[in-house]
Amino acid sequence: MIEIYHVSDLHIGRDTRKAKRLLKIIKDRFEIGEQENRWLLVTGDITQDGSKRQYEMALKALAPFKDKVWIAPGNHDYGLLGFIYSEHRAKNFDGLLAGGLGIGHQFFPKVPFSELIKEGKENKVLLIGLNSCLKTSSWLDIAEGEIGDEQRSNLERILTKSDYQNIPKIVFLHHIPHRRAHGLRMSLKDFSELMRIVRDKVDALAFGHEGKMEDADPEIAKKKKISDRDLKRLVDIKAMDLPIREMKLRSGKGQGIRYYLDANYSVREQACYRITIEGSKVSARFLRLT
């Protein structure tokens, strides 16, 4: 049996202590690294701002899972407070974090990550990771995401390969692939196009993306010594008083997906998902760890 433990939105640099506590519990309780059939999956917003210091802290926190962990970038990894995109910070996700964890894939070009995981002769699962971050400096995009035409085309080619037809599949990304993501522009811009591709072809969608308007607090931003232009963006965002989205953990019924795994409150709830693959059967269970 293959076991995958899914968390998201660690926000190291903001929720560092709680995030490290969660990771330690998972490492100790499930012995990831010692048990060959177990892996950790982290679906974005691993850092709060994508600064070099925060990537170094994240790498240290995730180092015990090296070679047994998969990650995807989130909007907070790609820019200040999750609102102001920075190409430098985005590229550091690959160079400082993914590379340091033994993941050779480059997420910045928005090419899907894919890996076929095997355990014994009978158990296999195809893991596909997407970069859902929107590369834009416009604050009007808030924390919106986008898969993009090219990445979606590549995803469709992977899913329709004859070699993978009878193998369970899990797609992971950061942003919310659903029309009911509350709060202004918290969904993927192209979630409908993505769902048309994955519907009835994927066993589970794993994601995160926690919306918190307090992250746009101008007083916090001032301490980070950002430009006057960027500070004005955050003041404008805060003035909009956007509603914080609330989503329940749920299955993907009606979406053509068996499991629709929203792990955005992993740190707050000290919880994770346990995804198991045994033969052609995929199961997922929500676990509170404290």
Q: Which tokens go with 60?
A: 């240290």
Q: Classify the C-alpha dihedral 285-260-16-217 as positive or negative.
A: negative
Tokens 């007083």 correspond to 219
Instruction: Give me the pLDDT at residue 80, please.
Output: 83
Q: Which tokens go with 141?
A: 């995009």
Q: What distance, in Å, lies between the first and last C-alpha atoms of the chain?
A: 25
Instruction: Give me the pLDDT at residue 246, please.
Output: 33
Domain residue limits, the chain: 2-288
pTM of the model: 0.88
Instruction: Give me the pLDDT at residue 84, please.
Output: 82
Instruction: Give me the pLDDT at residue 254, please.
Output: 53
Instruction: Give me the pLDDT at residue 159, please.
Output: 96
CA distance 189 to 179: 10
CA distance 136 to 138: 6
Fold assignment, 2-288:
Purple Acid Phosphatase; chain A, domain 2 (3.60.21)
SS3 53: helix
> What does the pLDDT look like over 80-120, one tens digit per residue?
878 788 999 999 999 999 999 999 999 999 999 999 999 88
Is 8 in contact with 45 (CB distance < 8 Å)?
A: yes
Instruction: Give me the pLDDT at residue 252, please.
Output: 47
Instruction: Give me the pLDDT at residue 244, please.
Output: 38
- Cα atoms in the 13 Å half-sphere on the side-chain side of 256: 11
Is residue 198 within a helix (H) or strand (E), and if so which, with residue range? helix 191-198
Instruction: Give me the pLDDT at residue 177, please.
Output: 85
Beta bridge partners of 3: 38, 276
Instruction: Give me the pLDDT at residue 215, please.
Output: 55
Which positions of the chain have pLDDT values less than 50? 213, 242-253
Instruction: Give me the pLDDT at residue 283, please.
Output: 93
Instruction: Give me the pLDDT at residue 28, please.
Output: 96
